[in-house]
Amino acid sequence: MTYPLLVMVFSGKRKSGKDYVTDLLFQRIGKEHCSLLRLSEPLKSQYAKEHNLDLDKLLDSSQYKEQYRAAMIRWGEERRKQQPDYFCKLTTQGEGCHKPVWIITDARRKTDVEYFQKVYPKSLVTLRVDADISVREQRGFLFTKGIDDAESECGLDVGVGWDVIILNNGDNLALDSTLDDITHMVHQRLQEANFQIS
């Protein structure tokens, strides 16, 4: 069996609920067969090392992360200018990459999607988490110049034909139904590859 069997690349704007949706999906699929891989993790890890910051706080959705977000984006952009697939490569060579299903939680640029299209063309499913601006504002979104108009937030707004759009406006029944469909697709792929599903 060649891994990964399935690579699900997720995108969505700030406060759309990407982490919430991908965490729910990960729980449904199960850690036996699935890994959550965050493109931002090696970026934040390296940034934390170079700037003597608390990595755990940078990885959660705290105010701590927000105060460093703009500077982290600028730093990450400089790295990407030198090597566009730098963080994608780091993420897919780390722990958890031996599982058959990967959930990539946070694609932000066309170069991210293009990397997975090029390297995993037969395994790839692209998913976009959408939420209305009013819902995002209820979750704490406040437009911030230099962040919400930057490529890291707007780079995937157009020009990508998403395989699945997930509307995350707080309707749990609708979200459950969409996640049921995705989970069913994942289990089908696993069964076709002779994995035992519990």
Phi and psi (nearest 5°) for 87? -75, -30
pLDDT at 7: 97
Q: Is 190 left (phi over 0), alpha (psi -120 to 50) or beta?
A: alpha
CA 189 to chain centre: 21
Task: Assess whether the previous peptide bond of 42 is cis (omega < 30° from 0).
Answer: no
pLDDT at residue number 115: 95
CATH number at residue 60: 3.40.50.300
Residue 106 within a domain:
yes
The pLDDT of residue 198 is 65
Whether the Cβ atoms of residue 156 and residue 113 lie closer than 8 Å to each other: yes
pLDDT given for residue 90 in this prediction:
86
The pLDDT averaged over each successive group of 10 residues in the chain (198 residues) is 85 95 96 91 85 85 80 85 88 84 93 95 96 96 90 88 96 97 96 83
Question: Is residue 116 assigned to a domain?
Answer: yes
Angle at CA of residue 12, ends 182 and 104, nearest 5°? 55
Q: Which domain holds residue 54?
A: 6-192
- Write the DSSP assignment of 43-112 as a string of letters: HHHHHHHHHT--HHHHHTTSHHHHHHHHHHHHHHHHHHHH-TTHHHHHHTTSTTTTSSEEEE----SHHH
In this structure, the number of other CB atoms found within 10 A of the CB of residue 88 comes to 26
Looking at the domain assignment, is residue 1 inside a domain?
no
What is the reported pTM? Answer: 0.86
User: How far is 138 from 120, CA to CA, in rounded Å?
Assistant: 37
Residue 35 CB partners (closer than 8 Å, separation 6+): 96, 97, 99, 101, 102, 103
Q: What is the pLDDT of residue 58?
A: 81
pLDDT of residue 67: 87
Q: In angstroms, rounded to a whole number, what is the distance separating the alpha carbons of residues 49 and 1?
A: 36
Confidence at residue 76, expressed as pLDDT on a 0 to 100 scale: 83
Cβ(25)–Cβ(103) below 8 Å: yes
Q: What domain count does the chain have?
A: 1
